[in-house]
Chains A and B, each alone.
Chain A
Amino acid sequence: MKRRTLLAGATLALGLAGAAWAEEPLKVGFVYVGPIGDGGWTYQHDLGRLAVEEAYGDRVETIYQESVPEGADAERVLTQMALSGAKLIFTTSFGFMDATNNVAARFPDVKFEHATGYTRAHPNVTTYDARFYEGRAVLGTIAGRMTQSNKIGYIGSFPIPEVIQGINSTYLHAKKVNPDVELVVIWAYTWFDPAKEADAARAMIEQGVDVILAHTDSTAPLAEAARSEGVIGFGQASDMSEYKPSPRVSSIIDNWAPYYIKRVGAVLDGTWEQQASWGGIAEDEVVIGEITDAVPAEVKAEAETLIEAIRSREYHPFTGPINKQDGSVWLAEGEVAEDGDLLGMMFYVEGITGEIPQ
C-alpha cells in the first residue's frame, strides 16, 4: 500500500508538474485612443494586433480597449489590464505617456510598449515610433507638384514634435519642387473628431487650399475634399481606399504588424529588452499607399524614386542646408539631422509663416 500511495502520489505530482509546464497563452493588451472603426490610426494598430494573433495562434491571447481618453482614465484602464493578467501592453498614443510610466512603476514584471513617446522612466517601458516624416516627404513632393493654387494645407492635431516633423518635412519637400508654395496649418486639438476635421478642411478649402494633408485620424478631410472640385488629399495612417482615385491620390500607411510580431516573439522567447525603436520606410513600418492615376506619370515616378532613396538610406528627408524659421542655421550643407534633434523638434523651418501654439 505504501508503494501504491507512493506511485499514486508521484503520478499526481508529475501530472501537476506537466500541467504547469504547459504554456499558458501570453496575454497581450492593446490600449487605443480612438475607435477601431476610424479607418485610420487605431484601425492600423488593430490590424497589427490581428497579425499577432494570426502569427502566434494559441500561444497568445489579445485583449484591447478602444477610445480610451488620454489622462487619468488611461491609468485606470492600464491598471485593470495589468491586474487581469496581461504581460505585454501596447499603448498607442502619445498622450498615454505619463499613464504608461506610472503604471509601469507599479507592475515591474509587466512589459509596456508606448507608441510615439519619449519617456522610459522604468526598465519595463519601451518606446516605439515610426518615421512618419519620411512618408510626409513623399506626400509633400506630390503636393508641391500637384497644387494649382500654390496653397497646401496641413491639419495638425497637437503641437508635439511628431506633428512638427510632419509639417516641416512636408513643407521642405513641397518647396523643393515648387518654390512658390505656401503652407497653411490649422490646429484641430484632437486626434479624432470628424466634425472638427471636416470644418478645418472646409475652412482651408475656402481659403484656396487645394491639397490637404492631415495628421488627424478620420476620413472626414477626404470627404470634405470630395465635395469640392479640384481638391486632393491623402489617406492618413491607413489607405482610405474608398476615396480612390481622387481625392485620395496616395496615402501613408502605418504598418505595425512586423514590429508587433517581433516584440511579442521577444516576450515569448524571454529576450525582451527595453529599447527605443524608430522604424521608417526601410523597415516597412511606413508604407506609401498606391499612387493613383490622378497623379501625372512623371510626378509618380519622382515620388517612387524618392521612396527608394529613403528606403536605401541614401537620402534623409532632413538634410541640410536648412534654416530655422527665425533665419538661424540649423543644418549645414549636406548635414543630416540627428534623431535626438528630431525627437525634440519644436520649431518651424524657414518659410513657414505662423507660430507653434504653446
Chain B
Amino acid sequence: MDLSAINPAVLMATVMVAATPILLAALGELVVEKAGVLNLGVEGMMILGAICGFAVAVETGSPVMGFLGGALGGAALSLIFALLTQYLLANQVATGLALTLFGLGFSALIGQGYVGIKPPEWVRLDLGAVSRSPVVGTILLRHDPMVYTGLGFVVAIWAVLKFSRVGLILRAVGENHDAAHALGYKVIRIRILAILFGGAMAGLGGAYLSLMRVPLWTEGMTAGAGWIALALVVFASWRPGRVLLGAYLFGGITVLQLNLQASGVRIPVEYLSMSPYLITILVLVVMSSGRGRAALNAPASLGRNFHATH
C-alpha cells in the first residue's frame, strides 16, 4: 500500500476534469429549477448532447463546433420538454422521466455509425513553465478550455441570479408564479427560456464526456451522470457555489477510488459509488419536512405547472 504514490495536485486536476460534465449539467438544472420547473430529463439531454457533439465534431473536424452541436442537441430535447410541460401542462416528473428514456434510445440510434471513431483533439492551455509548476500549474493552468468555461459559468450564474434584473425575474417566477404573472411577467416564456438554457448546459456536459473525458462514443456512456447532476442541485441547496463543491465531491469519488486501488488500498467499489446517492437521499429527507423545505432554499413553485386563470 503506497499512498505516497498519489500526487494530490495531480489528483485535484483530475477531479476538476472529472467533475466538469456534472458541473455543467447541474448548473443548467439549477437555473431551470430556480424558474420553478423540475426537469428530470437531464440524463437524456446529456447523452443526446454527447452524441450530437461527437457527430458534429467528427464531421466538421472542430471541437468547438462539436460543443455547439452538443448544446443544440440538448436544447432540442429540452424544447420538447418545454412544449409538453408548459403548453400541454403535462406532469413535469413523468415527462422528464419519459424524455430521459427517449434521449437514451434516440442517442443510441444516432450513434450507430459512430462507435469506435476518434474525435478531433483540443489543445490544452499551456503557459510554458508556469503551467508545469508543481502545484498551482498542475491544478489550475493545464486544463482544456471547457473546464475554465465551467468555472466561468459558476461565477456568471451566481452573479446573474444575485445581482441582475433577469435573475430577479427568474427567481420570482420560481418562487411564486402567480405573483409574477400578476406583475405582468410572461411566466411561460421565461420558463421555456430557462428550460432551453438548462438543456443546452446538459448537452454541453454530455459533449464534454464524449469529446474530452473518454473520448469515444458508446451507448449509454453517461452512465447515470445526469441523475448525479440532479442530485447535486438538491445537495447544493440551489446555490451555484455549492454546486461547484458538490461536483468536485461527487465527480471526485470515482477518480479517488481508482487512485486508491492503483496504490493498493482496497475500499469496495460499491461503497464509494453509492455515496453520492446516499447523501442526496439524506438531503431530500430533511427537505421533505415542512420547515426543512423553506430552510433549504427550494424554489416554492418547484414542480407546479403554471396556468393563467384569466
Which A residues lie at the B interface, using CB under 8 A? 35-39, 67, 153, 184-187, 189, 192-196, 198-200, 202-204, 206-209, 218-220, 223, 242, 353-355, 357
Contact with A along B92-133 (1 / 0, CB 8 A): 000000000000000000000001101000000000000000
- CB–CB B269/A187 < 8 A: yes
* Complex interface: chain A residues within 8 A of B18 (CB): 199
Given known pairs A194-B216, A223-B214, the reply for A208 and B5 (CB within 8 Å) is: yes
- CB–CB B266/A199 < 8 A: no
Shortest distance from the beta carbon of A83 to any chain B beta carbon, whole Å:
25
A203 to B253, CA, bound (A): 13
Q: Find the B residue at minimum CB distance from A355.
A: B266
Contact with A along B5-22 (1 / 0, CB 8 A): 111001100100010000
Q: Identify the stretch in B65-73, B152-160, B218-226, B279-287 within 8 Å (CB) of chain A at 4 or more residues.
A: B218-226
- CB–CB B269/A189 < 8 A: yes
Given known pairs A206-B11, A207-B5, the reply for A186 and B216 (CB within 8 Å) is: no
- CB–CB A198/B213 < 8 A: yes
- CB–CB B5/A357 < 8 A: no
- CB–CB B218/A186 < 8 A: no
Q: Identify the stretch in B168-176, B187-195, B232-240, B255-263 within 8 Å (CB) of chain A at 4 or more residues.
A: B255-263
Contact with A along B233-257 (1 / 0, CB 8 A): 0000000000000000000001100
- CB–CB A186/B115 < 8 A: no
A35 to B111, CA, bound (A): 12
Cβ of B292 < 8 Å from any Cβ of A?
no
A35 to B263, CA, bound (A): 32
A153 to B258, CA, bound (A): 12
Interface hub of A193, A198, A202 (most chain B Cβ within 10 A): A202
* Complex interface: chain B residues within 8 A of A36 (CB): 115
- CB–CB B258/A220 < 8 A: no
Shortest distance from the beta carbon of A241 to any chain B beta carbon, whole Å:
12
- CB–CB B116/A153 < 8 A: no
- CB–CB B219/A357 < 8 A: no
* Complex interface: chain A residues within 8 A of B259 (CB): 203, 206-207
Cβ of B61 < 8 Å from any Cβ of A?
no
A88 to B7, CA, bound (A): 53
A206 touches which of B14, B116, B213 (Cβ 8 Å): B14
* Complex interface: chain B residues within 8 A of A353 (CB): 264
Shortest distance from the beta carbon of A324 to any chain B beta carbon, whole Å:
19
Given known pairs A35-B218, A195-B209, A195-B223, the reply for A219 and B116 (CB within 8 Å) is: yes
- CB–CB A220/B219 < 8 A: no
| Shortest beta-carbon contacts, A-B, top 9 | A37-B115, A203-B258, A39-B116, A194-B216, A207-B5, A203-B259, A37-B116, A186-B261, A206-B10
Pull 22 A–B residue pairs with CB atoms less than 8 Å apart, ordered by A.
A35-B115, A38-B218, A153-B262, A185-B261, A186-B262, A187-B269, A189-B269, A193-B218, A194-B214, A194-B221, A195-B214, A196-B254, A198-B214, A199-B254, A200-B258, A200-B262, A203-B261, A204-B262, A206-B7, A207-B262, A220-B214, A220-B216
Q: Find the B residue at minimum CB distance from A36.
A: B115
- CB–CB B216/A218 < 8 A: yes
Given known pairs A38-B116, A354-B264, A355-B266, the reply for A202 and B215 (CB within 8 Å) is: no
Q: Find the B residue at minimum CB distance from A208.
A: B5
Shortest distance from the beta carbon of B18 to any chain A beta carbon, whole Å:
7
A206 to B261, CA, bound (A): 13
Interface residues of B in 1-55 (CB under 8 A from A): 5-7, 10-11, 14, 18
